Structure 1
């Protein structure tokens, strides 16, 4: 091997190696960098450049060391594989597409934080809906349309109570109790109560549902 030889992106510029670089020759890379390269590595093609060509040939990604994705901080990357450090100190190698899609925001230690944020967001949305519905003088849910049933009744059916040897059906509308009727059979009283819910509350619930949709649409 002599001065002037070109091997891949290397050009030999000196063969007079000091003792610490025995079996090496001084080469200049195409990019201008100079360093001592092992002769065997040159002959076998194990060393083709100082590393600049490998870097140039890599695909460019829009994430780089120092960027933060969720609770991850990117440390380095090798192609599409990024070494990241979580806020808790855990390090992992994560693919570029997983980071970009937001499918990995932490090592798992902050999963509860995400759940808390989602719960808080849900509560805030519920409060906004409730305020808007109440502003129209309505209730968020009406009996028979999602409202929790009151099981304190002795019959186990909301709005139906035992009266002597019969069953009395009633419903409360605008804080006023309305008597529906008395029935010999429990199922007849329950049916009458359901019909009353439909009569008094179905139109109101439609208005409430419309308000809910409008509030949710504004929040998106």
Structure 2
């Protein structure tokens, strides 16, 4: 895709990572279930799915964070989801390391073309994520993400979305005023509402059958460019 650069107000487009640019493959639930099985878990996949959803949604996370806090959070999640298993430490280590491997993640089919098109417009592309340092190895292993020039990862900057401080640091790291940044993500609270509250423009990436507002939502990453041009 080659596009002549129009006048656009955005100097940077920032994307969320998980659920937006990258997708777990196999799914998170399938990874927990299959790895848990190897270490003696007797839970069915359906039980693992229910326990993961309940555990992840009920845990309260501080907006301030660091690598150790994230590591301990995932230790607690694995323990709550799988329960007692033989060789629990080894089970956790395999799960933790699994999600730091590029092959555990599929890059969205529209990501590379979208990133390239934004770069051709002279717009910087950033990733703005509540992941941890493992995201670096995931990104390093996918050529489709090479056009991303800034990585803003919560465990490395000390703040998680939806904090205003996260978005303040995002602005600083991409060397832009907040109103010059467009944030795109699948989580309305973290990626859209919080970004707007911090002065950024933001739109939500939603599944095709869930889109209800063309001005506030996109159904695929390839719609990013049209939004940038039409609203710039």
TM above 0.5: no
**TM tier, smaller:** under 0.3
Greater share of helix residues, 1 or 2? Answer: 2
Structure with greater contact order relative to length (CA < 8 Å, sep ≥ 6): 2
Tell which structure's C-alpha radius of gyration is larger: 1
TM-score normalized by the length of structure 1: 0.22
